[in-house]
């Protein structure tokens, strides 16, 4: 505890972008705590899951706050994940400590799986059809859909399994979080100058005071979202009870999945779209090898151009999020195909810079 919290040496010149890891850890911890209390009242049966949510909101003491705290907290978790990932790419943290980068991408995979399964549990109209779309992507693998869903369609066994995985995986995630923090503290944090420095200060009280200040500011956003915009980040159709006989006009996932969803819609072939969807995240693992790539190839751009490519990649990422929420008409599909190419192109430019 003393070596990792009190006397842990941190670079003197780090800015508030380095608070995002602490805020992300706090957000994940709050999700786990609120999820445990929600699980005490939730029923994973397909006939009563939708009504158990309304029981939590209306009958449980402060259940409305608990439910919206958990549902909106997932958006804050992914907001911090994207900003934390962008900061690591902008300042070249994958050069400095590849093990920390590897464990971080594993954590991103876990968070995406946990969030997807949690989105299914309220059994709204968009939840049912969202899980139908994603599980149908696995139809290329023999018997995988039947093994995962417990049958040929989304039914009672599917929700029970998703609830069990949604409850257990966050505790497995905590193990990767501890490894992520250990590998980070093994070499100390990166800094804006992107090199090792001997100008260090103690984590307590200097860095922890900045982290707590950022946490106070973020708590204001939490409370504003929970009390005033409690359902603004979710699709209105998800407030309706799921109906297997009524397909929504437009199937839309949560906003943090819209980038990958836009790539999936942009590819006409289902299996090819699924491959593009997976590789858009798997390609981040290759950043651990970027040091050797830059060593064997001619480094034809400087670190200043690296930051420029990261900004362009982030703009493409935001554009894909916007396109993912639009109707799949020809214009938006054409834009999505072009932006998908730029998504990979700018990642390659970052790798070679």
Enzyme catalytic residues: 185, 189, 210-211, 254
CATH number, domain containing residue 130: 1.20.810.10
Strand-pair partners of 31: none
Alpha-carbon distance of 188 to 97, in angstroms, equals 9
76 and 89: one domain?
A: yes
Long-range pairs for 333-340 at CB < 8 Å and ≥24 separation? 333/265, 333/266, 336/262, 336/263, 336/265, 336/266, 337/266, 337/267, 339/262, 340/262, 340/263, 340/266, 340/267, 340/276
What is the extent of the structural domain holding 350? 255-353
154 and 259: one domain?
A: no
Structure tokens given for 8: 């842990």
Identify the helix (H) or strand (E) that includes residue 9: strand 9-11
In three-state secondary structure terms, 200 is strand
Q: With beta carbons less than 8 A apart as the criterion, state whether 295 and 332 touch.
A: no
For residue 252, the Cα-to-chain-centroid distance in whole angstroms is 16
pLDDT tens for the chain, 353 residues long, are 777 777 788 888 888 889 999 999 999 999 999 999 999 999 988 889 999 999 999 999 999 999 999 999 999 999 999 999 999 888 888 877 888 999 999 999 999 999 999 999 999 999 999 999 888 888 888 888 888 888 888 888 998 999 999 999 999 999 999 999 988 888 888 888 766 777 888 888 888 888 899 899 999 999 999 999 888 888 888 989 988 888 888 889 999 999 999 999 999 888 899 999 999 999 998 887 654 444 444 444 445 567 788 899 999 999 999 999 999 888 999 999 999 999 999 988 887 76
242 and 263: one domain?
A: no
167 and 225: one domain?
A: yes
Phi, psi of 233 (to 5 degrees): -90, 0
91 and 229: one domain?
A: yes
- Contacts with 253 (C-beta within 8 Å, 6 or more apart), sequence order: 119, 126, 130, 261, 324
54 and 99: one domain?
A: yes
Number of domains forming the structure of the chain: 2
> Which segments of 188-301 does DSSP mark as H helices, in order?
208-228, 258-266, 270-282, 290-296
């Amino acid at each position: 505890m003393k070596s990792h919290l009190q006397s842990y040496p941190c670079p003197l010149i780090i800015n508030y972008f380095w608070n995002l890891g602490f805020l992300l850890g706090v957000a994940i911890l709050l999700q786990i705590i609120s999820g445990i209390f929600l699980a005490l009242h939730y029923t994973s049966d397909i006939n009563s899951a939708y009504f158990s949510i309304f029981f939590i909101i209306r009958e449980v003491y402060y259940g409305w706050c608990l439910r919206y705290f958990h549902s909106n907290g997932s958006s804050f978790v992914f907001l911090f994940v994207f900003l934390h990932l962008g900061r690591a790419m902008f300042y070249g943290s994958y050069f400095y400590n590849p093990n920390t980068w590897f464990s971080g991408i594993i954590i991103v995979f876990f968070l995406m799986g946990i969030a997807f399964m949690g989105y299914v549990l309220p059994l709204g109209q968009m939840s049912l059809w969202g899980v139908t779309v994603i599980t149908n992507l696995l139809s290329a693998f023999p018997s995988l859909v039947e093994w995962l869903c417990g049958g040929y369609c989304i039914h009672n066994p599917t929700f029970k399994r998703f609830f069990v995985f949604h409850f257990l995986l966050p505790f497995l995630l905590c193990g990767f979080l501890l490894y992520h923090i250990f590998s980070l503290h093994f070499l100390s944090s990166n800094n804006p100058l992107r090199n090792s420095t001997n100008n260090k200060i103690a984590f307590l009280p200097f860095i922890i005071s900045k982290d707590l200040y950022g946490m106070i500011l973020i708590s204001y956003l939490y409370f504003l979202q929970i009390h005033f915009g409690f359902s603004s980040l979710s699709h209105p159709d998800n407030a309706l009870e799921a109906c297997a006989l009524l397909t929504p006009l437009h199937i839309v996932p949560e906003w943090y999945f819209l980038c990958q969803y836009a790539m999936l819609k942009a590819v006409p072939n289902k299996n090819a779209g699924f491959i593009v969807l997976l590789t858009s995240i798997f390609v981040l693992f290759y950043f651990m090898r970027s040091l050797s790539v830059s060593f064997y190839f001619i480094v034809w751009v400087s670190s200043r151009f690296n930051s420029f490519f990261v900004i362009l990649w982030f703009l493409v990422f935001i554009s894909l999020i916007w396109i993912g929420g639009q109707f799949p008409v020809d214009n938006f599909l054409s834009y999505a195909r072009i932006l998908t190419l730029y998504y990979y192109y700018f990642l390659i430019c970052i790798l070679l810079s």
